[in-house]
Structure 1
Amino acid sequence: MILIDALYINNSGGKILLDYLIEEIEQRKLKVHYLLDDRIVGKHPAISDNSVTFVRANLMKRHQFYKENKLNFTKILCFGNLPPTLKTKAVVYTYFHQKLFLEIPSNTHIKSKIIFKMKAAVLNLLKVKTDFWIVQTDAMKQLLIHKLQFGSAVQVLTIPFYPSLEIAKKTTNAKYNYVYVSAGTHHKNHIKLIDAYQIFYGSSDKKSELHLTIGDEFGILQDYIKEKVNLGFPIINHGFVNRNALKEIYSKASFMIYPSLSESFGLGIVEAIESGCEVIGADLPYMHEVCEPSLCFDPNNVDDIVAVLKSSVSGKFKPTKQKIHNQLKDLLQLLN
């Protein structure tokens, strides 16, 4: 039997990918057992003939599960970045998609830095418990090999996958609308984007809007957005949105502007491209792995973001070119 261990996945992009993976596994009728975070009970796709264990997401609970079931599986896919806590007889694939375990932006809050460093230490201890690593881009592959100092026998496979959105018809008034689909965590860099947009809008012909998706758990950031809205700036925060609503947001935008300081992939970038948006992106390796953006900027420089916003209005940019595509079939083939 196959184990899908996604114990630490409960929100954001990882949850979108997990839902897609479950849907495809169930559709193909693969025989698996799921180990899932108890925070997503009732919040996942339908699971018909397969079994599920819901556990509180911590190392001790996960270790107990492996201790009790280490002989029950022939293949294991660890989808939450960490290999098993003990060595099993199964062939183990670990899908790694959290760059912050390997490389922390310098302006990250001290509390977050400590948490990520602790998780990185656990990752380093468990790295010998997997047979294969899977990542979404070649840049992540090189970073993982460098940071964890693998021996030559370790195999790291690059297999990106993501669910495609059904493309909604573009609205006719979308020309100068910008969208940034992302949670509000600090490294996503919303403050600099908002500050840059405020300057840009004040000096432009005032025909644009900036659309964001900041959920209620980021109250301080939501308050900052409300301050700007009260000053007359057209910043529309949709909050957390489902996939159907997301299609409509993309349909009303011409540009995805993506200032994140750290990404292993950047699901929103691919979604935006496939929805007909051009990408204005941070000039960082993850961006150039996913696409050739129409315009690039230094994500730490507000003035640079303002400059590319002005260039987007003037039409001085090239079309975005997508470089990464869905390879879910390759991932599922490994599990067969």
Structure 2
Amino acid sequence: MRSFVRMGYPGIVKTWDGMICDMPVRLFIHATNVHQGGGQSLLRALLKVCPENLGLVMVLDTRMEVPEGMPGGVEIKRVRPSIMQRLQAEWWLAQNVQAQDIVLCFGNLPPLFKLRGHVTVFVQNRYLVDKVTLGNFPMKTRVRLGVERLWLSGKAINADEFAVQTLSMKTALLSSGCVVDQPVHIRPFANMPDIDPENVNRENHKRYDFIYVASGEAHKNHRRLVEAWCLLAEQGQFSSLCLTLDEEQSIELFAWIEERKLQYGLKLENVGCLPHEQVIQLYAQAHALIYPSQFESFGLPLIEARQAGLPVLAAELDYVRDVIVPEQSFDPDSPVSIARAVKRYLGVDEAPLKILDATSFLDLLMSKRS
């Protein structure tokens, strides 16, 4: 087999002996570990806009649904979610990618083997590049993330470039030590829904004061958010809050929230894990989004809420200001800070502490004897 050297424009390659050949460019989308969540949403959006004349080869998880209306001639290779199947898919990729081809690794990980084509790795999972503990995850998830961290750091050399969605994600990737000397491009790619702000802002649609669109992982910070709601309840503030937790996936967290709800009389409602289309409809039922997550690779609900015209109260962290300017911000590690941001947004005054002079302090101390 002849080896090919990539030239400066698609479809033209030079062989080892100097001959010029016109070869069709193919796009390989390698996404064997994508089938749910934000990754699925982004991948479906990408597949929907692939042009007819593009030689598209997709290597997909068997659980990944392909959108309707895909162009003809698309080659799809299905991979079962097993270690052996995924290793075989890596070897198949190495055998089939040619020098003129473009490879998009969409599941955070570079190819296991060095490929002949141009390889872009799209990194979305911040757990793979941030120095954060995995102790809150089940053992199976900790093992998987640990292996993927090693894969990314050990095989990053097989990528020609990396793509991320935000500046803070680029900083985290560069700080991780995974990148050797490849460029890291910021590509704020999102599947933007068609939201009509006028429809969202109709008062008769509103059911909740606040909404938090998030799954139940520890970094999503539900506990401190609910603790803030408990503090507000103690002060006579009972704003309604809608959550989108999967009860079966977050059994312990859900039970803890229900205890606080009963103890403090909180106006909390969990609507469960919803399809993306229903989440978009949910924005129309809320007055504002609150977002206390401790870190994100992108924070898509921030963008969706802003597109829907909702005010946003969010953590004072880089990932937030990468994409929006919130109406109020807070320290996500402090329930007091979260509660104060809610009160500021609602226009509820909170008087500062009255500072005592030395005489007043001494008078109060001595009054205990009378």
Whether the TM-score (by the shorter chain) exceeds 0.5 is yes
Per-residue CA distance 1:107-164 (angstroms, 9 max, x = gap): 8527566653432122111100110100001221122122125344x11111111122
User: 2:61 is matched with which residue?
Assistant: 37
Cα separation, 1, equivalents of 2:207 and 2:59: 45
Per-residue CA distance 1:144-203 (angstroms, 9 max, x = gap): 122125344x11111111122222412315497111111111111111111212222442
Q: Does 1:188 align with 2:210?
A: no
Cα separation, 1, equivalents of 2:42 and 2:125: 13
Q: 2:49 aligns with which of 12, 20, 24?
A: 24
Cα separation, 2, equivalents of 1:149 and 1:20: 28
Cα separation, 2, equivalents of 1:210 and 1:157: 37
* Partner AA of 1:165 in structure 2: P
DSSP 3-state at the match of 2:190: coil
Cα separation, 2, equivalents of 1:61 and 1:115: 16
Between 47-56 and 167-176, report the one with greater CA deviation: 167-176
Cα separation, 2, equivalents of 1:134 and 1:64: 25
User: 1:72 is matched with which residue?
Assistant: 96
Cα separation, 2, equivalents of 1:311 and 1:106: 33
User: 1:162 is matched with which residue?
Assistant: 190
Gaps of 5+ in 1: 317-336
User: 2:76 is matched with which residue?
Assistant: 52
Cα separation, 1, equivalents of 2:42 and 2:348: 34
Q: Is the 8 A contact 1:135 1:160 kept in 2?
A: yes
Shift of 1:228: 3.8
Q: Give the aligned length.
A: 311
Q: Does 1:135 align with 2:157?
A: no
* Partner AA of 1:210 in structure 2: L
Q: 1:200 aligns with which of 210, 229, 232?
A: 232
Per-residue CA distance 1:190-234 (angstroms, 9 max, x = gap): 11111212222442453x311111113222223233334444321
Give the 5 Å matches for 1:98-109. 98-105=125-132, 108-109=135-136
CA RMSD of aligned residues (A): 2.4
Cα separation, 2, equivalents of 1:315 and 1:53: 57
Cα separation, 2, equivalents of 1:200 and 1:107: 31
Cα separation, 1, equivalents of 2:135 and 2:210: 26
Change (3 A) 1:29 1:201: farther
Q: 2:294 aligns with which of 242, 257, 261?
A: 261
Q: Percent identity?
A: 28
Change (3 A) 1:241 1:44: farther
Shift of 1:58: 4.8
Q: 2:252 aligns with which of 220, 224, 228?
A: 220
* Partner AA of 2:192 in structure 1: S
Q: Is the 8 A contact 1:184 1:218 kept in 2?
A: yes
Between 87-96 and 193-202, report the one with greater CA deviation: 193-202
Cα separation, 2, equivalents of 1:29 and 1:240: 37
DSSP 3-state at the match of 1:39: coil
Per-residue CA distance 1:84-114 (angstroms, 9 max, x = gap): 1001111100001111111143585275666
Cα separation, 1, equivalents of 2:214 and 2:167: 23
Shift of 1:6: 1.3
Cα separation, 2, equivalents of 1:223 and 1:240: 16
User: 2:334 is matched with which residue?
Assistant: 301
Cα separation, 1, equivalents of 2:86 and 2:261: 45
Higher RCO structure, 1 or 2 (CA under 8 Å, sep 6+):
1
* Partner AA of 1:16 in structure 2: S
Change (3 A) 1:275 1:108: farther
Q: Is the 8 A contact 1:254 1:276 kept in 2?
A: no
User: 1:327 is matched with which residue?
Assistant: none
DSSP 3-state at the match of 1:140: helix
Change (3 A) 1:24 1:54: same
Change (3 A) 1:308 1:28: farther
Q: 2:154 aligns with which of 118, 121, 125?
A: 125
